[in-house]
A = this chain, B = another copy of it.
Amino acid sequence: MRITMKDGTKKEIMTVWREADVVKMIDQRPLPFELKFVDLNTTEEIWHSIKDMYTRGAGAIGVTAGFGMAQVALQNADLPPDQLIAKLEEAKKYLDTARPTAVNLMHATKRTLEKGKDAQQRGDDSDGIVKAVVEEADEIFEEDQRAATKMAEYGGKLIQDGWSVLTHCNAGALAFSGLWGTATGPVRWAHQQGKNVFVFCDETRPRCQGARLTAWEMAQEGIDYAIIVDNANSHFIQRGKVDIVFVGSDRIAANGDVCNKIGTLGVALACKHYNVPFYVVAPRMTIDYEMENGMAIEIEERDQEEVTCMWGLDYEKEEKVKMRIAEINANAKNIAFDVTPAELVSGIITEFGILEPSKEGLAKIKDLPPV
């Protein structure tokens, strides 16, 4: 992503990258108050970085998981091939448990493991297996960026000068490895083309990725925006203040049903009722062709405390503070994602173009070579 330095110049930084067997990333948890980087040296650290949301967002999770597999390969290069493959299988199994809904995670661990197994079957030695796994992890990283660039352009062309865009959660550069992100890619592209564009950032309770991350990304890029509470999105849609909506996705079923951050369904329902285009921006990797119907997707339920407590900066002291907004023993339910039925989606913007959200629409790109 692009950040503004203290002297006003812009600098391009990655959300996650790899240096030999060390995975490096922005720790997104203290954002927007502090820009901090972390090194991940073990599979446990990788697992925690996903589970505890140092990193989040479909693409970034996939890239991180792929790098995690590369790390396992590099750190076990001296084992015989069958033991190396066993280590990789074990790592895949473990990493897949970090976030059950994110399909990119399972895709990335599967792709890297399979490349390792292919190499083993070809009769490669452990060095060959390691090379295959690492190359695939790096390819996932590269694909993520190429795909994002394409999606930004396909989506960006839909935005007219002077339009207001609404987005939910953060499917920005922070949610992917590179500069564009998915849902914010079209906005960045239109802005770079010199179009005036305004962004409504849903704050996205409970973790407020919109208020914390998307708003921060927009401020860094110099794009006009306002944070709104999630409750306000249907009001602005009703009043004609929103021209188009872009959201990301954590998993898309083969029929075009879209699983994304809790609250996405509400935005889609308002768009349907008031006839505002509602686009999902997601690379092909997000599509789970084996999942026929979105209603079958397992939905992660997270800790109640994410609802009843929040963290931020003490207003006076500027120190980090965790605070209760409800009684200590209050009951809460914390559902992390929802499923927007395909019929509420105007189109799915992928690196291959804009697809109709249907079985036929998605099937068209299933077997194309990567962009």
Q: Are A327 and B33 in contact (CB under 8 A)?
A: yes
Whether A79 is near chain B, meaning CB under 8 Å from some CB there, is: no
Most buried by B among A262, A266, A324, A338: A266
Known: A205-B230, A211-B308, A262-B229. A322 touches B332 (CB 8 A): no
Residues of B within 8 A of A309 (CB): 312, 315
Q: Are A323 and B321 in contact (CB under 8 A)?
A: yes
Scan A223-239; emit 1 where CB is below 8 A from any B CB, else 0.
01111111111111010
Q: Are A315 and B307 in contact (CB under 8 A)?
A: no
Instruction: Name the residue of chain B whose CB is nearest to the CB of A31.
Output: B327
Residues of B within 8 A of A236 (CB): 335
Residues of B within 8 A of A86 (CB): none
| Nearest chain B CB to A203 CB, angstrom units | 7
Q: Are B263 and A327 in contact (CB under 8 A)?
A: no
Residues of B within 8 A of A330 (CB): 32, 211, 215-216, 219, 227
The one of B215, B227, B235, B323 in contact with A323, judged by C-beta atoms closer than 8 angstroms, is: B323
Q: What separation, in Å, do the CA atoms of A232 and B265 have in the docked complex?
A: 9
Whether A363 is near chain B, meaning CB under 8 Å from some CB there, is: no
The one of B203, B226, B229, B262 in contact with A232, judged by C-beta atoms closer than 8 angstroms, is: B262
Q: Are B307 and A228 in contact (CB under 8 A)?
A: yes
| Nearest chain B CB to A102 CB, angstrom units | 18
Q: Are B262 and A338 in contact (CB under 8 A)?
A: no
The size bracket of the interface on A is 35 or more
Q: Are B273 and A231 in contact (CB under 8 A)?
A: no
Most buried by B among A203, A216, A233: A203
Residues of B within 8 A of A205 (CB): 203, 205, 229-231
Whether A212 is near chain B, meaning CB under 8 Å from some CB there, is: yes
Scan A135-158; emit 1 where CB is below 8 A from any B CB, else 0.
000000000000000000000000
Q: Are A269 and B262 in contact (CB under 8 A)?
A: no
Q: Are A327 and B231 in contact (CB under 8 A)?
A: no
Instruction: Name the residue of chain B whose CB is nearest to the CB of A168.
Output: B231
Residues of B within 8 A of A326 (CB): 32, 203, 208, 211-212, 215-216, 227
Known: A32-B326, A314-B321, A330-B219. A307 touches B234 (CB 8 A): no
Instruction: Name the residue of chain B whose CB is nearest to the CB of A305.
Output: B315
Q: What separation, in Å, do the CA atoms of A271 and B269 have in the docked complex?
A: 10
Whether A204 is near chain B, meaning CB under 8 Å from some CB there, is: yes
Whether A36 is near chain B, meaning CB under 8 Å from some CB there, is: no
Whether A270 is near chain B, meaning CB under 8 Å from some CB there, is: yes
| Nearest chain B CB to A226 CB, angstrom units | 5
Instruction: Name the residue of chain B whose CB is nearest to the CB of A211.
Output: B326
Residues of B within 8 A of A366 (CB): none
Closest 5 CB pairs of A and B: A231-B263, A312-B323, A205-B229, A315-B322, A234-B266
List 18 A–B pairs whose Cβ atoms lie within 8 Å, in order of A's numbering: A203-B307, A205-B231, A211-B307, A211-B326, A215-B331, A219-B327, A224-B331, A225-B331, A227-B307, A228-B333, A229-B230, A232-B263, A232-B338, A234-B265, A235-B265, A236-B335, A266-B270, A314-B321
Name 17 extra pairs, CB < 8 A, besides A226-B333, A315-B321. Answer: A203-B325, A203-B326, A204-B231, A205-B230, A211-B326, A211-B330, A216-B330, A227-B308, A228-B332, A231-B262, A232-B333, A234-B269, A235-B265, A266-B270, A311-B323, A313-B323, A315-B324
